[in-house]
Amino acid sequence: MRYDFHTHTVFSDGELIPSELVRRAILLNHVALAITDHGDASNYKDLIEKITLAREELEKYWDIRVIVGIELTHIPPKSIPKMARRCKDVGAEIVVIHGETIVEPVEKGTNYYASISEDVDILAHPGLIDRECAENIKENNIFLEITSRKGHSLTNGHVINVARNFDIPILINTDAHGPSDLIDLDFARKVGLGCGMGRKELENALCHYPKELLKRL
């Protein structure tokens, strides 16, 4: 079964409404899908409310866990711990931070302030993450992301090496924005193998660690 903890809908810059996205995930044998639209101080409450309403309806009829999430994106780094707490307070099950990918002008310090927050669950596409952040991430039980998304995936090899050196749990997510972005389990394996993951690391990223994250919710 497949798990994906980083996807987007029309509520930010995605192409699909939640029902369409979830339906496509079901056909790719997903057992859980997190909807994590781009948010900041202006829209986080609205996003969380909309996804909560969609989840309540979809789970009545479909056998899939829909997770209410948010991706705090390009916000001032020092505001990350405060905003992550606010998101949790209004109902977000997981908080993803839009990390310092090398293909976007994410402000320096984003990875650091994400790493010191107890309310952050996933640091997405963190780019060239450093030792200090890795130590904080390990201490605060934050997951690192290996991504299938074009551009962001350029530093997957660096991310897996950091995760390996500091024993940080890894998830393989898509950062899906459109119909073709979701992937099945076989393709997710290829993404992991492509960045140098070993057999045991791949098993953890695709099965053990997703279940560990779900237990927190």
pLDDT class of 50 with cuts at 50, 70, 90: very high
pLDDT class of 54 with cuts at 50, 70, 90: very high
Q: Are 184 and 20 in contact (CB under 8 A)?
A: no
For 66, the enclosing helix (H) or strand (E) is strand 65-72
Q: What is the pLDDT of residues 137-161, one digit of tens each?
A: 999 999 999 999 999 999 999 999 9
pLDDT class of 110 with cuts at 50, 70, 90: very high
pLDDT value at residue 17: 98
Please provide the average confidence, as pLDDT, over all residues in the chain.
98
Superfamily of domain 2-216, CATH level 4? Metal-dependent hydrolases (3.20.20.140)
pLDDT value at residue 194: 96
pLDDT value at residue 191: 98
pLDDT class of 77 with cuts at 50, 70, 90: very high
Q: What is the pLDDT of residues 10-27, one digit of tens each?
A: 999 999 999 999 999 999
151-154 contacts: CB < 8 A, separation 24 or more?
151/101, 151/103, 152/101, 152/103, 152/124, 152/125, 153/125, 153/191, 153/195, 154/102, 154/103
Q: What is the pLDDT of residues 178-206, one digit of tens each?
A: 999 999 999 999 999 999 999 999 999 99
Structure tokens at 88: 């949790």
